[in-house]
Chains A and B, each alone.
Chain A
Amino acid sequence: MLLLVLLASVVVVLFKGALPAIEHFGAKFLVTSEWRVNEVERPLRDAVGKIQFDADGEQIIETIPQAFGALPTMYGTAVSSSLALLFAVPLALGSALFLVRLAPKFKLAAPIGFLIEFLASIPSIAYGVWGLFVLAPFLQSHIGPFVRDLLLDVPGLRWMFFETVTIAGQTSEREIPMVGRSMLCAGLVLAIMILPIITSVSRDVLRAVPRTQVEGSLALGATWWQSSWMMLKYARSGLFGAVMLGLARAAGETMAVAMVIGNANAINPSPFSPGQTMASLLANEFNDPGEKLHRPSLMYVALILLVMSLTFNIVARWLVVGKKQ
């Protein structure tokens, strides 16, 4: 009951704070990608770029208002979390299978299980510091150049290493500098962070697979791999729930991502480009928000993030717990 009240009050506070932005931008907030906190004043120009003057010969100044849109950060959250799942899920499921089927034979289940739970309890800032000082420089000096040399001539992959930019009406193509702090770096750090939680939940789910099922499949002549595959299939809804829990943690991770993602509010398709997630945007800007619609817009982003992680959690809960009852 208390939890419900707490949740409701969080939603109410966020909604009230975000209201000016919701009224001003509406649903357009979700599909636009500008994030301009300051107003820009410039001389008004006509279609051919001539500066306009008023009757007294003074330049007419146009003011470009603040603009906020959550699309780049939603994209950033989606991509960084997907990358994290891409790296973490195969490893986590493999580790869980090892823990359930192989480790007990070698008396390794308990110590490795303890290590995994220990990894899950490391504060995220520690992963962030490691990402910033170890992983990012390594990506910059080794992985990035290696991948570029490998894939540069593969047709259809040019977008990973070159970007087109339009600045003041001029479009040009330029090479994306390998700086280390990028969407890829964030995805890798998140993958390492969510690996323990997915592994430990998957292990418990796989343990719950009835022994008769496994033995039955072996009796029918299945190989070790086939019976493992059968186990995964049998436990798929629970495993899906484990993955969703990992996804929720990845999508909501704040400081570690802000340290390694490069913090650029733009949609860059290349994984070597900097990006921004909703959570890292809040970490960066909420401390000292600017005037007018900046704070409400940040509240709006927080509201979207909350609704999204709630959905993840509810789906995950329903899959892991709901079906047993």
Chain B
Amino acid sequence: MNRLLALVLVGVAMVMIVSDAAKAAEETRLQGAGATFPAPLYERWVAEFNKIEPSIKVSYQSIGSGGGIKAITDKTVAFGASDAPLSKKELEKMGDAANVLEFPATAGGVVPAYNLPDVKGAVNFTGEVLAKIFMGKITKWNDPALVAINKDVKLPDLAITPAYRTDSSGTTYVWTSYLATQSDDYKGSIGAGKSVQWPLGQGGKGNEGVAAVVQQTIGSIGYIEAVYAHANKMNAGAVQNKAGEFVTAGPNSIGAATAAALPLMKDGKLTADLWNLDGNGVYPVSAFTYIIVYRDMNNLKTAGEAEALKKFFTWALTDGQEISASMNYAPLSAEVRTSALKEISSLSKQ
């Protein structure tokens, strides 16, 4: 009896494997990898797109920007994703720089999230104050520099514990690049990069690690990706922009930053730094996140895969943008979308 049961089970398993293989033959599979910050959005895109085009299976692995760049350089994935645009060196490693297309998929912000249980309302920060806090020059919440810009909020006499990312990340890159524009002292001592040497504070791995430090430590302040901070209901401060306004991060203020970047994106250039841009309502610690593909698409096996990839990103930059807004990411402005779509339609497998 038991043997019969085992035989039946094996038979069923084999039928399932065979039918699965047959199904796979009709499907086009695309693999992407890279940045963790847009991963929730990309995963949602993949799910929604699969409803419209069931024959195309896209999957995205959030392994970090550096890992995404390495994967697309090694041609082990169909597309890579990175929070920072490719550096010259990384472009060189990918072969012919003219053969690489990077375009923004969405934009996000990095926010100063803090733990002050008795403080009601958003705390205001300027870039200089933030730089000084992370350099250890402002050590108390009731420092005169903080009190001066927070007239409506009563700040406590409490030590500030900065919290930072210990892993290499696009979030750190955006945060440090912004601080470097705000303070020469900061630029000359800590500097900008995906991972930097902080003089004090507590480190956490990933957005969740920094969030854990901030949520558990009264008086701490950490930089966290805006969508993550929003989803976890953390208190995020307003940051003063170039126009002098104190702005909190949200789809509108980050969207304003992408619009303000248009003058920087002339002649088909699709990358731009969004931090510290001029304009009303602009959130100053914003950044694009990019998709990286090869123009000749020689990392893909078939023309069918190439078509599927174009289809997916064409959809992502049109209908997909509505999903971005609903998830608190900032949709791209119409101009950026148009030029990115033009580049995508010019891709062809060779």
Residues on A lying within 8 angstroms of B by beta carbon are: 34-43, 64, 132, 136-137, 140, 165, 167-168, 174-175, 177, 179-181, 258, 262-265, 274, 276, 283-285, 287-291, 294
Residue-wise, chain B 183-209 has the 8 Å CB interface mask toward A (1 for contact) of 011011111111111111111110000
Which residues in B have their C-beta under 8 angstroms from that of A262? 202-203
Query: B251 in the interface, Cβ–Cβ < 8 Å?
Result: no
Contact at B220–A179, with CB atoms within 8 Å? Answer: yes
Contact A264 to B193, CB < 8 A, known contacts A180-B217, A288-B167: no
Identity of the chain A residue whose Cβ is nearest the Cβ of B198 in the assembled complex: A264
Roughly how many angstroms separate A291 CA and B166 CA in the complex, as a whole number?
16
Roughly how many angstroms separate A41 CA and B186 CA in the complex, as a whole number?
11
Contact at A165–B199, with CB atoms within 8 Å? Answer: yes
Given A167, A174, A263, A288, which contacts B168 in the complex, CB threshold below 8 Å?
A288
Query: B3 in the interface, Cβ–Cβ < 8 Å?
Result: no
Which residues in B have their C-beta under 8 angstroms from that of A276? 203
Measured CB to CB, the closest approach of chain B to A65, in angstroms, equals 11
Contact at B185–A168, with CB atoms within 8 Å? Answer: yes
SS class of chain B's interface: helix, strand, loop or mixed? loop
Contact at A37–B196, with CB atoms within 8 Å? Answer: yes
Measured CB to CB, the closest approach of chain B to A154, in angstroms, equals 22
Which residues in A have their C-beta under 8 angstroms from that of B166? 258, 263, 284-285
A-contacting residues, B151-171, CB 8 Å: 159, 161, 166-169
Contact at B66–A290, with CB atoms within 8 Å? Answer: yes
Interface 9-residue window, one of B39-47, B134-142, B284-292: B134-142
Identity of the chain A residue whose Cβ is nearest the Cβ of B36 in the assembled complex: A288
Identity of the chain B residue whose Cβ is nearest the Cβ of A34 in the assembled complex: B197
Contact at A35–B197, with CB atoms within 8 Å? Answer: yes
Contact A264 to B203, CB < 8 A, known contacts A41-B187, A285-B166: yes
Contact A274 to B203, CB < 8 A, known contacts A136-B216, A140-B217: yes
Contact A263 to B205, CB < 8 A, known contacts A38-B192, A42-B188, A174-B139: yes
Contact at A179–B188, with CB atoms within 8 Å? Answer: no
- Among A34, A40, A136, A264, which residue has the most Cβ atoms of chain B within 10 A? A40
A-contacting residues, B97-141, CB 8 Å: 135-137, 139
Contact at A285–B168, with CB atoms within 8 Å? Answer: yes
A-contacting residues, B276-333, CB 8 Å: none
Contact at A137–B191, with CB atoms within 8 Å? Answer: no
Measured CB to CB, the closest approach of chain A to B90, in angstroms, equals 8
Which residues in A have their C-beta under 8 angstroms from that of B201? 264
Measured CB to CB, the closest approach of chain B to A143, in angstroms, equals 15
Q: Closest 7 interchain pairs by CB?
A: A38-B193, A42-B188, A263-B203, A40-B191, A288-B64, A288-B66, A37-B195
Measured CB to CB, the closest approach of chain A to B208, in angstroms, equals 11
Measured CB to CB, the closest approach of chain A to B163, in angstroms, equals 9
Contact A289 to B168, CB < 8 A, known contacts A37-B194, A137-B216, A181-B213: yes
Contact at B161–A179, with CB atoms within 8 Å? Answer: yes
Which residues in B have their C-beta under 8 angstroms from that of A175? 159
Contact at A287–B195, with CB atoms within 8 Å? Answer: no
Query: B253 in the interface, Cβ–Cβ < 8 Å?
Result: no
Given B135, B167, B191, which contacts A39 in the complex, CB threshold below 8 Å?
B191
Contact at A42–B187, with CB atoms within 8 Å? Answer: yes
Which residues in B have their C-beta under 8 angstroms from that of A288? 63-67, 167-169, 194
Which residues in A have their C-beta under 8 angstroms from that of B192? 38
Which residues in A have their C-beta under 8 angstroms from that of B159? 174-175, 177
Roughly how many angstroms separate A38 CA and B179 CA in the complex, as a whole number?
15
Measured CB to CB, the closest approach of chain A to B213, in angstroms, equals 7
Contact at B195–A285, with CB atoms within 8 Å? Answer: yes
A-contacting residues, B47-99, CB 8 Å: 63-67, 87, 89
**21 A-B pairs whose Cβ atoms sit less than 8 Å apart in the complex:** A36-B196, A37-B193, A37-B197, A38-B191, A38-B194, A39-B193, A40-B187, A40-B189, A165-B136, A167-B135, A168-B135, A179-B202, A264-B201, A265-B197, A285-B166, A288-B63, A288-B67, A289-B66, A289-B168, A290-B168, A291-B87
Which residues in A have their C-beta under 8 angstroms from that of B67? 287-288
Identity of the chain A residue whose Cβ is nearest the Cβ of B176 in the assembled complex: A38
Which residues in A have their C-beta under 8 angstroms from that of B216? 136-137, 140, 179-181
Measured CB to CB, the closest approach of chain A to B290, in angstroms, equals 16
Which residues in B have their C-beta under 8 angstroms from that of A265? 197
Roughly how many angstroms separate A174 CA and B193 CA in the complex, as a whole number?
28
Please give 8 more A-B residue pairs, beta carbons under 8 A apart, in addition to A42-B191, A174-B159, A291-B89: A140-B216, A165-B136, A263-B203, A264-B200, A274-B203, A285-B195, A288-B168, A290-B194
Roughly how many angstroms separate A64 CA and B190 CA in the complex, as a whole number?
10
Measured CB to CB, the closest approach of chain A to B75, in angstroms, equals 19
Which residues in B have their C-beta under 8 angstroms from that of A39? 191, 193
Measured CB to CB, the closest approach of chain B to A184, in angstroms, equals 14
Query: B38 in the interface, Cβ–Cβ < 8 Å?
Result: no
Query: B219 in the interface, Cβ–Cβ < 8 Å?
Result: yes
